[in-house]
Amino acid sequence: MLCSLKTHATLCGALLAALVLCGSMSARTCDAQAQRAGRPAGFAPLPKVTSPRLYVIDCGTLVYNRPEDYQLTREEVADTNMPVPCFLVLHPKGILLFDTGLSDRLVGRPLWENVDEGYGQIKFTTLRGQLADIGVTPADITYLAISHSHWDHVGNANEYAGSTWLTQKAERAFMFGPAADKAHLRLYDALASAHQLVFEGDHDVFGDGTVVLKYTPGHTPGHQSLYVKLARAGGVVIAGDLYHYCEERTLHRMPKEEETTGTPASRDTIERFLRETHAQLWIGHCTAFFRNAVKSPGWYD
Ligand SMILES: [Zn+2]
Ligand SMILES: [Zn+2]
pLDDT tens digit sequence for 251-301: 999 999 999 999 999 999 999 999 999 999 999 999 999 999 999 999 999
Looking at the CA of 100, which ligand is closest? Answer: 2
How high is the pLDDT of residue 40?
Answer: 83
Band (16; pLDDT cuts 50, 70, 90): very low
Q: What does the radius of gyration of the chain's CA atoms come to, in whole angstroms?
A: 20
Average pLDDT over residues 51-73: 97
150 CA to middle of ligand 1, Å?
5
36 CA to middle of ligand 2, Å?
37
172 CA to middle of ligand 2, Å?
17
d(CA 301, CA 279): 14
Average pLDDT over residues 59-79: 97
The number of helices, as runs of H, and strands, as runs of E, in the chain is 7, 13
How high is the pLDDT of residue 29?
Answer: 42
- Bond into 297 cis (ω within 30): yes
146 CA to middle of ligand 1, Å?
11
More confident residue, 34 or 149: 149
59 CA to middle of ligand 1, Å?
14
Q: Would you say residue 31 has pLDDT above 70? A: no
Q: Would you say residue 11 has pLDDT above 50? A: no
Per mean pLDDT, which range of 24-28, 185-189, 196-200 is the poorest?
24-28
Q: Would you say residue 5 has pLDDT above 50? A: no
35 CA to middle of ligand 2, Å?
36
Q: Would you say residue 144 has pLDDT above 90? A: yes
44 CA to middle of ligand 1, Å?
33
Average pLDDT over residues 147-166: 98
Band (21; pLDDT cuts 50, 70, 90): very low
Looking at the CA of 171, which ligand is closest? Answer: 1
Band (230; pLDDT cuts 50, 70, 90): very high
- CB burial string 203-228: b at 16+ within 10 A, e below: bebbeeebbbbbbbbbbbbbbbbbbb
Band (26; pLDDT cuts 50, 70, 90): very low
Q: Would you say residue 94 has pLDDT above 90? A: yes
- What 3-state class would DSSP assign to 168? strand
Mean pLDDT of the chain: 90
230 CA to middle of ligand 1, Å?
26
133 CA to middle of ligand 2, Å?
25
Short-list 105, 107, 87, CA closest to 97:
87
238 CA to middle of ligand 1, Å?
14
27 CA to middle of ligand 1, Å?
46
d(CA 52, CA 222): 25
Band (111; pLDDT cuts 50, 70, 90): confident
Which residues have C-beta under 5 Å from ligand 1, the single-atom ion? Answer: 150, 241
> What is the layout of strands, in order, in the sheet containing 94-98?
115-116, 119-122, 53-63, 82-91, 94-98, 143-145, 164-168, 196-199
Average pLDDT over residues 150-175: 98
- What 3-state class would DSSP assign to 164? strand
Q: Would you say residue 3 has pLDDT above 60? A: no
